[in-house]
A and B are shown apart, each in its own frame.
Chain A
Amino acid sequence: MSEQSPKERRIILKHTDDPAYSNRISSYLGVGGYENLKKAFGMKPEEVAEEVLKSGVRGRGGAGFPAGMKWKFLDRKSGKPIYLICNADESEPGTFKDRQIMYKDPHQLIEGMMIAAYAIGAKQAFIYIRAEFHEGARILNRAIDEAKAGGYCGENILGSEYSCDLVVHRGAGAYICGEETGLIESLEGKRPNPRIKPPYFPAVLGLYQCPTIVNNVETLCNVRHIVEMGGEEFSKIGKPNNTGTRIWCVSGQVMKPGYYEFECGALTLGQMIFDVCGGLRPGRTLKAVIPGGSSAKVLRADERFSGSLKDGTAFDWGLEDIPLDFDGPMAAGSMSGSGGIIVMDDTVDIVEAMANINAFYAHESCGQCTPCREGSLWMRKITQRMCSGGAREEDADLLLSVANQIEGRTICAFGEAAAWPTQSFVTKFKDDFIKKATDSQEERNPKSLQLI
């Protein structure tokens, strides 16, 4: 559990850490639970979808695509059934926000999902949850039973003509099931090999080749609050194009790692690390930060970022000045991704950190595309060799060339997710990679932090 910071604005996590609040329906009903479902059912489905569009809410799963816009892309002319899927795979390294919602406030997700299902006219809804969340799946199933008994889910919701079953589906430990088309294949009972877009945009050809909406847990919870506030009011939280709050997950070498919910743009990366998270351990200095889950490009502590924002204003930031919203980390050449901020101090061996990340992607590639399957293995092998006494000066360039041959040449965005860390680490910390080769390469100091 994270200690709440006084400056937070908790909307999604409002009740999660209240010791008196349980994950049962009684607690949820006690704080106005399912009132917004009633409100939504008093509106036409397209009116609800319109509010979501007006809210400007962007997806919290990684890509930041506006949810209302995605819903508009649904192919309604086909006449096929429509499906809703909640992406609860939460597998991007550094991310642990959806866990808090599902374990501590599952009804908020169910209410958000039933509102979304009604708005898009879904025939059936699924929660695809990673298998490591054993208890999470049990909690959700119990909550769904409670919601069904109350008429908030399942047959004839709130006594209306509308029915929508909600099924919890468990994955089996593969990161690629977080990618939405891999997830759909997995939900169809197959290997989670992602599908190529076009033509397989889920909103057109998704589950069973039917129009399907895939949204993240946090995104779907926001839907409930959009109905409560109205899209217009919601859009005033945060900043234009960066509306609502975000739950940032801070991990690594800070004094108080944890999950913190703030209005978009309410604070900078520096304030997050040094104020909210209590800074670094005594005597340490900042070396690098990954701002949006391990797939996001790394930021170097002494780097400067300049250019102009979408609205034309010029910026010139150090790492600590980067605003925490969607556009800030993007302007700095990285991304806010899934909101996972990984902090590294000066005790970290950057090449080992790189080797750790590369081992992850090599383990998780689904293997369909040659550049991704082979490239991720090569990058792992090279960095691992560099960390076990066999580093060569030319390895930095070799790594970069392998990464460059993956990016843009694969079926799914995992290719980029695997290439971006290497491209950014090698370019920004080239000295560290060279030094690995030129330093005497005896046995590693057994006392130093081992990352691979």
Chain B
Amino acid sequence: MDNSLNLSEQTLSKIDEVVPKYPEKRSAALMVIHLVQDELGAVNDKACEWIAQRLELQPINIKELITFYPMLRDKPWGRKHVRVCRTLPCALRGSYATCKTFEKKLGVKEGQVREDGEYSLEFMECLADCGQGPVVIVDEQTYENIEGESAEKFAELLLDGKLEGGEEFKSYEESLNQGS
């Protein structure tokens, strides 16, 4: 198989690992798309063609997934992608205000990427952590109770690159006991 997408060895071997797990190749479509999107940031037409060939499908079989699923993209988000939960339980705890604060502080409108490509902001539907809303996901880390003043502080730390690993906001993932 050609490597016209210039995917890393790691991604290619992960793809080779995931495809045979399924009784039918087509079932691996979402998983392969995730792997490609994780590396390239988006799955454009060329990537659709490549994935289709890898799974012995037509490009449209991949394209129709990219255009359907909210988390699949044909253009990349910003280098840091911020997701805010919009759905009722989080809204009841102030998520609309949180999103507005982020728009102001990060200088980007909801649903868009900042011109310099640094940040993007997206309203999401329920993230299944409604007891601790408003819920915010930055890349792959989930932060809880981000409202009012704490949303301001949160955005400032994010802008300063001091959010991750900082003491102020521990993500849900960081606070798990993952043993050793």
Of A232-240, A252-260, A391-399, the stretch lying at the interface with chain B is A252-260
Cα(A250)–Cα(B127), bound, Å: 15
Judge if B61 is at the interface, Cβ distance under 8 Å. yes
Q: In the complex, which residues of chain A have a beta carbon less than 8 angstroms from the beta carbon of B87?
A: 93, 294, 356, 360
Q: B131, A96: Cβ atoms under 8 Å?
A: yes
Q: B88, A342: Cβ atoms under 8 Å?
A: yes
Q: B125, A344: Cβ atoms under 8 Å?
A: no
Q: 1/0 per residue A166-181: CB within 8 Å of B?
A: 0101111111000000
Cα(A124)–Cα(B20), bound, Å: 13
Judge if A300 is at the interface, Cβ distance under 8 Å. no
Q: B179, A357: Cβ atoms under 8 Å?
A: no
Q: In the complex, which residues of chain A have a beta carbon less than 8 angstroms from the beta carbon of B27?
A: 169, 187-189
| Interface of chain B residues 165 through 180 with chain A (CB within 8 A) | 172-173, 175-180
Q: Which residue of the partner chain, among B22, B31, B133, B175, contacts A251 with CB atoms under 8 Å?
A: B133
Q: In the complex, which residues of chain B have a beta carbon less than 8 angstroms from the beta carbon of A449?
A: 91-92, 94
User: Which chain B residue has the least Cβ–Cβ distance from A357?
Assistant: B88
Q: A167, B131: Cβ atoms under 8 Å?
A: no
Judge if A135 is at the interface, Cβ distance under 8 Å. yes
| Interface of chain B residues 137 through 180 with chain A (CB within 8 A) | 137, 140, 172-173, 175-180
Judge if A201 is at the interface, Cβ distance under 8 Å. no
| Interface of chain B residues 69 through 128 with chain A (CB within 8 A) | 69-72, 86-89, 91-94, 96-97, 124-128
A421 to chain B, nearest CB (A): 10
Q: B70, A96: Cβ atoms under 8 Å?
A: no
Judge if B42 is at the interface, Cβ distance under 8 Å. no
Judge if B54 is at the interface, Cβ distance under 8 Å. no
Q: B64, A94: Cβ atoms under 8 Å?
A: no
Judge if B29 is at the interface, Cβ distance under 8 Å. yes
Q: B96, A450: Cβ atoms under 8 Å?
A: yes
Judge if A134 is at the interface, Cβ distance under 8 Å. yes
Q: In the complex, which residues of chain A have a beta carbon less than 8 angstroms from the beta carbon of B22?
A: 167
Q: 1/0 per residue B10-37: CB within 8 Å of A?
A: 0000000000011110111111011000
Judge if B40 is at the interface, Cβ distance under 8 Å. no
Judge if B129 is at the interface, Cβ distance under 8 Å. yes
Q: Which residue of the partner chain, among A1, A192, A251, contacts B92 with CB atoms under 8 Å?
A: A251
Q: 1/0 per residue A95-139: CB within 8 Å of B?
A: 110110001100000000000000000001000001111110001
Cα(A173)–Cα(B30), bound, Å: 11
Q: Which residue of the partner chain, among B68, B126, B132, contacts A94 with CB atoms under 8 Å?
A: B126
Q: Which residue of the partner chain, among A90, A191, A249, A257, contacts B64 with CB atoms under 8 Å?
A: A191
Judge if A411 is at the interface, Cβ distance under 8 Å. no
Q: In the complex, which residues of chain A have a beta carbon less than 8 angstroms from the beta carbon of B91?
A: 356, 449-452
Q: A191, B65: Cβ atoms under 8 Å?
A: yes
Q: A249, B131: Cβ atoms under 8 Å?
A: yes
Q: B178, A249: Cβ atoms under 8 Å?
A: no
Q: In the complex, which residues of chain A have a beta carbon less than 8 angstroms from the beta carbon of B29?
A: 189
Task: Given A135-B140, A167-B21, decide whether A342 and B89 contact each other with a Cβ distance below 8 A.
Answer: yes
Q: B64, A99: Cβ atoms under 8 Å?
A: no
Q: B92, A252: Cβ atoms under 8 Å?
A: yes
| Interface of chain A residues 153 through 211 with chain B (CB within 8 A) | 165, 167, 169-175, 186-192, 208
A363 to chain B, nearest CB (A): 6
Cα(A418)–Cα(B127), bound, Å: 19
Q: In the complex, which residues of chain B have a beta carbon less than 8 angstroms from the beta carbon of A360?
A: 87-88, 125-126
A23 to chain B, nearest CB (A): 6
Q: In the complex, which residues of chain B have a beta carbon less than 8 angstroms from the beta carbon of A104?
A: 176-177
Judge if A348 is at the interface, Cβ distance under 8 Å. yes
Q: A175, B69: Cβ atoms under 8 Å?
A: no
Cα(A451)–Cα(B95), bound, Å: 8
Q: B26, A251: Cβ atoms under 8 Å?
A: no
Q: List 8 A-B contacts (CB under 8 A).
A: A93-B125, A94-B89, A134-B140, A170-B34, A173-B71, A189-B30, A189-B57, A294-B126
The 4 closest A-B pairs by CB, nearest first: A22-B179, A173-B71, A172-B69, A24-B179
Beyond known contacts A189-B57, A363-B125: 13 more, CB 8 A cutoff: A24-B180, A93-B125, A132-B124, A170-B30, A171-B69, A173-B70, A189-B27, A191-B65, A208-B24, A250-B131, A253-B92, A257-B89, A342-B92
